[in-house]
Amino acid sequence: MFNLFLIVIFFAIVIGISFFRKTRINKQMKVVASERMLNIEMIKHFDSYVAVLEYHMVKAYEIIFKDQIMIYSVEAMGIDEEHFSEASKKFIRLVLKMIGPNLQQEFEYLYGSRDTLFFNIAEYFNRRYEEDEVRKTAQGNLIKDEEN
């Protein structure tokens, strides 16, 4: 009688463990499938994500440019490395503040990491600074004035 009771308990434990493992595996598979679907949706809508990020980067650049860089551009001077680095950091912080914590998490997930997101934001800032039309125009005017 006691042996029969132990055998029933043993089988109940084995069935319980297998059910638990099966349930856990199913949950893991659902999580993986859910993440894959999220990745697919983010890739499908990548252009929209980039448009949202670029909108905020354009606005942030206008603010940082007016506050930090414009005086150098009008004088046809390049900004020194220290000021450039500080302006770049302020730009990144401003973009992050403008997009908010929810979108920041979305973009970190989209780009794979916070560092990659920051790199892309900084790269935008660097490109815009290099294409500074105000500075180029001021330099062209200086050259024309020196020639005359």
Give dist(CA 95, CA 114) in Å, integer: 13
Indicate the average pLDDT of the chain. Answer: 78
Eight-state DSSP code of residue 112: S
Provide the residue ranges of all domains of the chain, joining segments of one domain with +: 1-44, 45-147
Q: How many CB atoms lie within 10 A of CB 99?
A: 21
| Residue 91 pLDDT | 95
pLDDT score of 47 more than 80 = yes
Give dist(CA 3, CA 100) in Å, integer: 64
| Residue 42 pLDDT | 82
Give dist(CA 129, CA 65) in Å, integer: 9
- Alpha-carbon distances of 65 from 6, 44, 71, 96, rounded to whole Å: 78, 33, 9, 17
pLDDT score of 138 more than 80 = no
Closest CA to 54 of 113, 135, 120: 120
| Residue 118 pLDDT | 96
Give residue-wise pLDDT tens across range 80-108.
788 889 999 999 999 999 999 999 999 99
| Residue 35 pLDDT | 74
Give dist(CA 81, CA 94) in Å, integer: 20
Q: Which amino acid is at 43?
A: I
